[in-house]
Homo-oligomer: A and B are copies of this chain.
């Protein structure tokens, strides 16, 4: 409290940095829940407690806001296991952990992708991010023959599972019996990783 402007918290009601962060947080949540197209700038701004005009001011456009949301995602590679032999179980454990206690801010890059692929402008951004930040690092980590193809197969499998379970909510994966699907998924992923 050496250089604070006052001994009591200022509680500035007009703080561009705080407001910007609030918009970003609302955007992450709504892009995840609704996808790029259905998430409207007015709804996002309302959730952040401001007006839609501020989005254009701070992020240039809705697409600019989307880019900024994407920039803080796709660090799947950071959650990789250390031991290559435990790739499958580690990945499944990561999924179930994220499922038991979903991220508090409602942000989920995988769902965001799946619900935004119908938008052409979002598509190019998503492809670039996913390739560069997830698939290529994963391919390097996997190593071996056809590493790129195998990394793609891993990501494809995870996406397919997410579509059927979380988006479509197919009856093939009842929420109560996630363990059964996961116990079959783990060796599948391990088999792809092993070569």
| A residues whose Cβ falls under 8 Å from a Cβ of B | 34-35, 37-38, 114-119, 123, 126-127, 130-131, 135, 139, 146, 148-153, 155-161, 163-164, 167-173, 177, 180-181, 184-185, 188, 191-192
Nearest-Cβ distance from residue A132 to partner chain B, whole angstroms: 9
Within the complex, the shortest CB–CB distance from A172 to chain B, in Å, comes to 3
Copies per complex?
2
Q: Could you tell me if A152 and B181 are in contact, using CB atoms closer than 8 angstroms?
A: yes
If over half of A's interface residues share one DSSP class (helix, strand or loop), that class is named, otherwise mixed; here it is helix
Tell which of B118, B153, B163, B173 touches A34, judged by Cβ atoms closer than 8 Å.
B118
3 tightest A-B CB contacts, nearest first: A152-B172, A160-B160, A156-B160
Q: Which residues of B contact A131 (CB under 8 A)?
A: 170-172
Cross-chain pairs A/B with CB under 8 angstroms, 25 sampled? A35-B118, A37-B37, A37-B38, A37-B118, A38-B119, A123-B168, A130-B168, A130-B170, A131-B171, A135-B170, A146-B184, A148-B171, A149-B173, A152-B172, A153-B161, A153-B185, A156-B157, A156-B160, A157-B160, A159-B160, A159-B163, A160-B160, A163-B163, A188-B188, A188-B191
